[in-house]
Structure 1
């Protein structure tokens, strides 16, 4: 997907929560399309989710499905569903933390699921519930959002739309590891929000499929490095 590299903003002041208007006609059409596509994908995905859940239960202690509070459109908090890929209660002593490459908290089976993005499949239920979209900014936890909105310019502007299972930032950038990486990802999120269209979202979905099957090089190019 050969789109221009978004401009990366400089840090100047804390962002303010967005004032989100009621969904437009275009957004209602997008929500309807999300519902239909999520329902269609969920039919073949259900056996995969069930198989992953059984595998998780057989290989580690704790529940197979994992729920977590995330911040959605307009700053509203919702419950996100995932297949558990880390050891149960792994953040009990540390509190919320970003996942890192080779994270020791991930189980052996969980690492494989994360690599194949199978742990994300239950989020199709979030799409059916109207809390998420197939494409949009990645939702973050309230505890982390509270800190990021104080140090990253425009961070809350990404909450002007529904969060997504995949998105423009997700296909181009690695998971967040520090404020610097968040600043770069916010620039991509705001670029998507400004220029989003049916064509762009279709390209993001196609790029996501290529990424999952290991063909990221077809569309990928190195992101612009954020400035301090």
Structure 2
């Protein structure tokens, strides 16, 4: 029953937060353009959603477009991160465009984070169950470590959420998400700005 009601809650909250967050999103877009006028404001990437259906996720761009240095060496995420992008990530503002993904029905506010499309062939049958629900902007794995936990732990948290989805669980994750954002916990690990690649794509 809650899963059906959850979609209505997502839509109402997405509309409300888009209206409230418009000044912040406009400010973020302006800062990105000032720092890098030639680059796009938004970062778009294909991700698997519910039932592994592919959709395009939206984020504010936090890195330069350039991927190689003058010697042809691949730049790390940390080297590509812009000053504005670093601030947006620390405050989780880069995630705000995903409110539109929620409104479209691609995502929910709470659920397993949508991972890269290229990881799909490497999931076990059990790990595929994370796609039984809509992916979320935040989830059980995010409030229990985000990029500081292992892939095995991340999948265990995701599967626990799928098996225990409820209003109570979602409200607790919302609380923990706000708490972590304010304390800037679990945003980056010690070396990298994002998780290392999963499985055989490393």
TM-score (ref. length: structure 1): 0.73
Per-residue CA shift, 1:141-177, capped at 9, x if unaligned?
211333x31xx5622110110000001111112327x
**Contact residue 207 and residue 216 of structure 1 kept, 8 A:** no
Aligned to 2:138: 166
Gaps of 5+ in 1: 1-24, 218-228
The structure with the largest helix share of the pair is 2
Instruction: Tell me if the contact between 1:154 and 1:186 (Cα under 8 Å) persists in the aligned partners.
Output: no
Matching residue of 1:37: 13
Aligned length: 182
Residue of structure 2 aligned with 1:118, choices 93, 103, 106: 93
- CA distance in 2 between partners of 1:74 and 1:94 (Å): 37
Aligned-partner SS, 2:81 = coil
1:2-26: per-residue Cα shift (whole Å, max 9, x none)? xxxxxxxxxxxxxxxxxxxxxxx43
Within-5 A mapping of 1:9-28: 25-28=1-4
Deviations 1:103-158 (A, max 9, x none): 22211110111011000000000000001000000001211333x31xx5622110
CA distance in 2 between counterparts of 1:193 and 1:161 reads: 7
| Residue in structure 2 matched with residue 87 of structure 1 by the alignment | 64
CA distance in 1, matches of 2:119, 2:85: 23
In structure 2, the gaps of 5 or more residues are 187-202
**1:81 is paired with a residue of what secondary structure?**
strand
CA distance in 2, matches of 1:89, 1:157: 36
Q: CA deviation at 1:94?
A: 9.1
Distance in 2, matches of 1:142 and 1:216, equals 27
Any residues of structure 2 matched to 1:1-228 within 5 Å, and which? 25-60=1-36, 61-90=38-67, 103-146=78-121, 148-149=122-123, 152=124, 154-175=126-147, 181-214=150-183
